[in-house]
Amino acid sequence: MSNQHRYGIIVIDMLNDFIGEKAPLRCPGGEEIVPNLQKLFKWVRERNAGGKDDVQLIHIQEAHRKNDADFRVRPVHAIKGSWGSDFIKELYPEGEEYTIPKRRHSSFWHTDLDLYLREESLDTVVVTGVWTNVCVRSTAADALALAYRVITLSDGVHSKDQAQHEHGLVDLSIFTKVMTIDEFTSAIDAGIDAWAGAGDQENKVGEK
């Protein structure tokens, strides 16, 4: 049976102010996933170049105002128009890939992400990027609230350290499908619904 679903890969905050030794709000785990995301980007772009638009990259760009409320609880970072708010060169958007600025943790909060997904008939949100337990989790939660099917790519997200990353994945496993990039791409290539089996319908997450 062919897969009729359409997937929006949300790439969250792979920016200069988060990734790299000079980043003021450095997320070391984010540096580890760059090669994985490059591999994913290559797969999507080759698929798009072949005329298939059922999987799309959507680049999320934190872009704060100077006196943003976020800075009451976090260091100043990713000011709109600054070098720090720009995408890292290794994962820079190409062609007609859509970019969306945000000012809060969730990629949906006061952005046009929901509108874009609906315009493109993308019914499944695939979260990647940083941080697993903050912006990725918040984006995934809002996607679920808006009735999207949600997938988390476990080797395409990361956090400041392994503990925070793993805690985030536990939360995400309750209401998303957690899978690797290879598992995801293989399912799509095989015409299988990658989201099948999502969530925790038997309430087993956290059991010893």
The whole-number average pLDDT for the span 140-158 is 98
Judge contact between 133 and 161, C-beta under 8 A.
no
The whole-number average pLDDT for the span 178-201 is 97
Q: Which domains does the chain possess?
A: 7-190 (3.40.50.850)
Query: Which of 64-73, 79-88, 133-142 is predicted with the least confidence, judged by mean pLDDT?
Result: 64-73
Give me the chain's average pLDDT, please.
Answer: 95
pLDDT above 50: residue 1: no
Query: What token pair was written down for 147?
Result: 């009735």
pLDDT for res 69: 82
Judge contact between 18 and 25, C-beta under 8 A.
yes
Question: Tell me: the pLDDT tens digits for 90-100?
Answer: 999 999 999 99
CA pair distance 156, 132, nearest whole angstrom: 9
| Cα dihedral sign, 73-76-77-80 | positive
CA pair distance 157, 151, nearest whole angstrom: 11
pLDDT above 60: residue 109: yes
